[in-house]
Structure 1
């Protein structure tokens, strides 16, 4: 699994201008079962995405298609982790616990 910290590199006015496109991109990632959760950080300096287990290269390719990335409005810090404990509702998506 991954935690992705999205860090804005542009003023919020530019972020807000691209927000609808970013939201559509997020919708596609959920439809393709890539992401488990996402949302804004507080204070509003970026966002957080929790991604399902997948090869790191695949996640990097997905993030590269984000309108924020395409417009150079944000950078991404990817933290990979192996969840050894999860809530029951998350257990079925945690490959580390199914082996």
Structure 2
């Protein structure tokens, strides 16, 4: 599984121009069964995505296709997580 941290760059002002395409990118990630969670990094620093059921090369390609990343609205950090122990409510993540 991967935690993708999207931090606003100096080009943050361009976010409004790309937000619809970015939201479509998020919707596709959920529709494809790859994204399990998205949310904001507070206070207004950017966003984060929890992705699972995907190989690293595929997640790198998917992140590069994010309109916010492609337009340098955000920089992306991809953190790979190998779950060792989970709360029973999150057992699906360890699969």
Deviation at 1:11, TM superposition (A): 4.4
Q: Which moved more, 1:80-89 or 1:40-49?
A: 80-89
Partner of 2:8: 8
Deviation at 1:6, TM superposition (A): 0.3
Deviating beyond 4 angstroms after TM superposition, the runs of 4 or more aligned structure 1 residues are none
The TM-score with structure 1 as length reference comes to 0.84
- Which secondary structure does the structure 2 equivalent of 1:92 belong to? helix
Deviation at 1:40, TM superposition (A): 1.0
- Which secondary structure does the structure 1 equivalent of 2:26 belong to? helix
Unaligned runs of 5+ in 1: none
Deviation at 1:23, TM superposition (A): 0.8
Residue-pair matches, total = 95
- Does residue 59 of the first structure (1) align with residue 59 of the second (2)? yes
Q: How well do the aligned residues superpose, as a CA RMSD in angstroms?
A: 1.5
Partner of 1:17: 17
Residues 10 and 18 of structure 1, relative CA distance in 2, 3 Å threshold: farther
Partner of 1:83: 83
CA shift digits 1:10-38 (9 cap, x unpaired): 44431122112111110010000111101
Deviation at 1:4, TM superposition (A): 0.9
- Which secondary structure does the structure 2 equivalent of 1:28 belong to? helix
Question: For the Cα contact (< 8 Å) 1:2–1:52, is it kept in 2?
Answer: yes
- Does residue 41 of the first structure (1) align with residue 41 of the second (2)? yes
CA shift digits 1:23-74 (9 cap, x unpaired): 1110010000111101111111110111114211010011011111221211
